[in-house]
Structure 1
Amino acid sequence: MIRISLVSQFSSSVSGVLFAGTVLLSLASSPASSQAAPVPYGDFSATTVDYLAVTEETLLTTSGKPDGLFGAPTVAGDSLDFDPIGFSASSTGGGPSDILDVQLKFMIQAKDGNVIESIFLSEAGDTTLDNGFSSDDALSRVTANVFIDILEVDGVGVGGISVMGDMEFTPSDGDYQLSVDNPGGSSYNSGWSGKFFREFGPILADNGLTGKVTKISVALDNTLTATSASGSTAFIAKKDSDGVVITTNPDKNEVPEPTSLVLALGGLLALAGARRRS
């Protein structure tokens, strides 16, 4: 399933020109390719759980990105760590909007004597928007939809318990626009981070079940989008180090905090107070 959620129009505060339907028109002329076969990474043993059938699949790439952009993960404690390379979208000079939609799928199985109480997903990257001192606008966006199915409770198979949600991004909710984030300026550069956290106890209770979760399946659908006008460029990418991290039963004291990357961008975050979203 392909999810494309884009801003269909955005305005430049400098020129006052409304780019109505720019993204949709660009998509109509963009060559899109879909990967027929997933890229399997296999199984990985963590401290208290096993990550099973870790698989990546490119759902949409308008610029012909190669397969395997997440890359094979590494394990640290109960965390699965991906260091993406080339996981990016870019658009220059009003060319076609660039969209990259990649899905990561896996199962988590608790080892004997252990349970899955919660899951925390995080990711990070950066974006650059530039118009070379012209009046043209540029836009970039990151989204991540998370789908979780609870497969076992206390080692017994269950069905029909699903969790869906969106990763929360900082700053600007993962939606960046040159004329809004740096009005009157010629460029905007920012790091970004996203997070998703769920506890499974309340979900079981809502479904009339007791016990502890011992097996789940997870699908993380990541989309990057870059859109430019004739005199601008847009670029957005996941980091090539600790770009995506999945953690089972994380330290709850660490979950609410944004990454140090975003905390370091105090000057850029101050721009958010003057945001004008369409």
Structure 2
Amino acid sequence: MSNMHRIHWFDEQIRSGRFPNSSWLAREFEISRRQAQRDIEYMAISLRAPLLYLAKYRGYCYEDQTYRLPHLYMTEEEQSVLKYLAHRYRHFNHEQSDVVKRVAHLLERFTAEEQQILSRPLPTFAASPKLLQHFELLSHAITESLKVHMYYRDFSGERQFPWCPLKIISQYNADYVIGYETDPVQQSAIRLEGIVHVRLTDETFECNSDMQLSGWEEPLPVRKPFVAEIRLKEVQQTEQWQGYRIRDKQDQIHFIEFYDTEAFMQHLLISEWEELISPGWLRNKMQSHANVILNRLHNSNHAHVK
């Protein structure tokens, strides 16, 4: 159920003079006390509700009786998309990062403040239903300190393992969840795009995340993108080539921006293109990678002949 349903119920209890508190809210909607308290904090901070806690009645009232909740009716899907976009904009660390992060702040607060007009459009992020679902499940697991069972696929293949998620971060246009399997000291980050399936369990874990996550909190440097000069079969009619921004184009030659070298190389391996013109270091890496694959195929064929 949407937190706005809970907030409207809480608002009705206040207006009826019942002095509700977080325990009431948690009991009514079968949620944790911590989640209920976050709803109340959301009312006070984001919706600017003039909440006043009266110890005498062990509950809340409004200091200003003229206050009215803003009309914020959104579906669960709309809230999930906004939450995800706020997360991505908040961790955006490339050009115009300061402005983009201010937009993230506006999304999080759901205010009607007029957004600053940008000289360039905001960055776009792919928000597939599968990725949003994993983001929501992991966010819930982090909030409630729940272990999850992870089905994960990367270059080494597909595997399953238990996971204690601690935090979701974004680095250079990719989402990662930080966590550990058994030892809190042995933390690692796995990419959300590599998750095939995630299942919540009833088992909880304990971890002092403020201390354990200190190594992941260092601010990332603001980076400008690499630019690859590639000749494509056809002139692209949009400003993107399968998700990668096209900075410029001259007939079939396209200047394509990218941040994650390994991810872009994987993209080149499965995409159609005519010629990789520059940069030279990327050509060399692709050549080296291709040689490794050819050697493996050669060794495999040689073994079959024997």
Normalised to the residue count of structure 2, the TM-score between the two structures is: 0.19
The structure that is strand-richer by fraction is 1
Higher relative contact order (CA 8 A, sep 6+): 1
TM-score, normalising length: structure 1? 0.20
Which structure has the highest helix share of the two?
Answer: 2
